[in-house]
Amino acid sequence: MPELPEVETIASGLWPMLAEQTIEQVTILNDSSVEGRREMLEKYVAGRKITHVHRRGKLLLMDLSIPERYANELPVPRSEYPLQLAFHLKMSGRLFVYPAETEPARHTRIIFDLSNGTRLFFDDMRKFGFCRALAPCDYLNWQFWQQLGPEPLTIETDDFVALFRSRRTRIKAALLDQKVIAGIGNIYADESLFRAGIRPDTPSNEISKKSLAVLHIKLKEVLKQAIRECGSSIRDYRDAHGDAGAFQNNFLVYGRSGQDCRVCGEPLTTEKVAGRTTVYCKTCQK
């Protein structure tokens, strides 16, 4: 599943291609790829200009303008008029911009026809991903959105430390919990815990404040490096231009089960933590 660096990379790649483009038409090819109220996406997104593409946690967000013809009176109450499109790519979701008249592929789920003639396709082989049109009322009613934790790149270190010191769950489980902190998945949890020298099965409240502060620093380092290298491509992930990421070439532990540690040379250990395959070094991570 694309994590924070992958979604950030996709958003920054899409923005130059979508900036100020008006969505002329929305065609839904698969009902399960729409979350929330289908009529909002189908009826009230056409005619809207894309004013920004960005990210919140693992969600890719597209901000929408309010058309001039609706400046004073909207076709539905303002609280129900969509302001954003939210995409969760899950395991295999992709967003690509194609030339005019490009026909949908086998796994295309939603088509957005744009004012410059191009077409934005939401493709999703496994059908786990979704698009949701967000109106003001949805921010209050969508539990997933309401429960998203703070962003790891912007939270202050003291707040990060306090957040994890108050929890008894194992540190990797806490990092993976989107209600605790948003955007972290298996890859960047393993990599940041290794760089911080913390075993992934350690209870969060047993880790010193100093070590948690180091973890926050290392987590930000890993995320920023991954963003610079356009994310990690393991299987399905590609950026907005169809290119693979490069951070997988720098993995120190993730996906290296049975191999030697690149720091100390000892064999890496593999266990299940929080239901996820976890690779770490017993020597480097005390």
Q: Which amino acids are annotated catalytic?
A: 2-3, 58, 276
Give the DSSP H or E segment for 88. strand 84-88
70 by DSSP, 3-state: which?
Answer: helix
Longest CA pairwise span in the chain (Å): 68
89 by DSSP, 3-state: which?
Answer: coil
- C-alpha dihedral sign at 140, 142, 146, 151: negative
Rounded distance between C-alpha atoms, residue 209 and residue 144, angstroms: 29
Give the DSSP H or E segment for 16. helix 4-18
Residues contacting residue 275 through CB under 8 Å, at least 6 positions apart: none
- In terms of Cα–Cα distance, which of 161, 195, 170 is closest to 280? 195
Asked if residues 142 and 36 have their Cβ atoms less than 8 Å apart, the reply is yes
- In terms of Cα–Cα distance, which of 125, 43, 119, 37 is closest to 86? 37
